[in-house]
Amino acid sequence: DIQMTQSPSSLSASVGDRVTITCQASQDITNSLSWYQQKPGKAPKLLIFDASNLETGVPSRFNGRGSGTDFTFTISSLQPEDIATYYCQQYDNLPLTFGGGTKVEIK
């Protein structure tokens, strides 16, 4: 199985701050990576697919980049509604696997 190591596991930032989350795959997954947002008590929501493509309707302050084994997810200007846990997921090989998640809080 491909292991996805996501960091940090949690972070606290101020409104307007730039927030960056990293995800490392245990082997080359090319660009087969997606990012999800999960708010408390809700189902996950797709934000980015193919490492850097923004899902329709997702605000442009969300950004993804990377390829191979190293990926980053950025919120350019943190908003109060962005409080959530974020997960990366690889789909290069079955079984699909998720990172451990990053809980984002407001300072």
Partner 1 sequence: EVQLVQSGAEVKKPGESLKISCKGSGHSFTTSWIAWVRQKPGKGLEWMGVIFPGDSDTRYSPSFKGQVTMSADKSINTAFLQWSGLKVSDTAMYFCAIINSGYPEAWIDPWGQGTLVTVSS
Rule CB under 8 A: which residues touch partner 1? 1, 32, 34, 36, 38, 43-46, 49-50, 55, 87, 89, 91-101
Q: Min. distance of Cβ 2 from partner 1 in angstroms?
A: 11
- Closest approach of Cβ 37 to partner 1, in Å? 11
Q: Which residues contact 103 (CB under 8 A, 6 or more apart)?
A: 9, 10, 11, 84, 85
Q: In 3-state terms, what secondary structure has residue 76?
A: coil
Q: Which is nearer to partner 1, 19 or 32 (CB)?
A: 32
Nearer to partner 1, 1 or 77 (CB): 1
- Whichever of 46 and 106 has its CB closer to partner 1, that residue is 46
Kindly state the DSSP code that residue 92 receives in the 8-state scheme: S
Q: 80: helix, coil or strand? A: helix
Nearest approach, Cβ of residue 54 and partner 1 (Å): 12
Give the amino acid at 68: G
Residues sharing a CB contact under 8 Å with residue 71, sequence separation 6 or more, in sequence order = 22, 23, 24, 25, 33, 51, 64, 65, 88
Shortest spacing between CB 62 and partner 1, in angstroms: 15
**Pick 17 or 44: Cβ nearer partner 1:** 44
